[in-house]
Amino acid sequence: MSLTIDSTRFGQIEVDPESVVEFPYGLIGFESRRFALVAREAEADFLWLHSVEDPALALPVTDPRRFFSAYEVELADEERERLGLPQLTATDIYVTVRASDQLEGFTANLRAPIVISSGQGHQVINQAAEAPLRAPLFGELAQEATNAAERAA
């Protein structure tokens, strides 16, 4: 049996109840604690973390490793234990995306990733030194294109 969300952004959407993620400590700045990951396409680079409780709340997210090949999340051992997280290699990791009308303006929050394991989600503070709050999302891809063009010339 599916769960229906009457989304103000997407209309009525059906989600598998097993895809609902519980955030016991919530997300920074939001009251909702139950979200579903919604993909508009099967292989989408961007997903929506849609609140089950608030039909108007949907945050764009992405797997940061699709855009930042060297991205790592570092947590203090005490934090990992407090949240009951296994090794981070056994988790799904997403970052929130800030959209813009210009491609260059898209950014990802690498400082406060969302870690999901066994149906529970936690927004954590990444201790890695190279984890900015607003990383240009397409910066690495643009640099790779520039390098490829220079090699071809």
Half-sphere exposure of 24 (CA within 13 A, CB side): 10
Output the pLDDT for position 140.
Answer: 66
pLDDT at 146: 66
**Mind listing the pLDDT tens digit for each residue in 11-54?**
999 998 988 999 999 998 998 999 999 987 878 899 999 999 99
Q: Given this model, what pLDDT does residue 82 score?
A: 83
Q: In whole angstroms, what is the distance from residue 148 CA to residue 49 CA?
A: 34
Q: Tell me which DSSP letter residue 27 carries.
A: B
The domains of the chain are located at 3-148
Question: Residue 43 phi/psi, 5° resolution?
Answer: -105, 35
Please tell me the predicted confidence (pLDDT) of residue 14: 92
Helix (H) or strand (E) holding 150: helix 139-152
User: What is the rounded distance in angstroms from the CA atom of residue 146 to the CA atom of residue 134?
Assistant: 22
Q: How many CB atoms lie within 10 A of CB 42?
A: 5
Over residues 56-77, the pLDDT tens digits come to 999 999 999 999 989 999 998 8
pLDDT in tens, 89-146: 678 999 999 988 888 889 999 999 999 988 999 999 999 988 999 999 887 666 676 6
Instruction: Using alpha carbons only, give the angle 68, 71, 74 rounded to the nearest 5 degrees.
Output: 160
What is the CATH topology of the domain spanning 3-148? BH3618-like (2.30.290)
What span, in angstroms and rounded, lies between the C-alpha atoms of 55 and 2?
A: 16
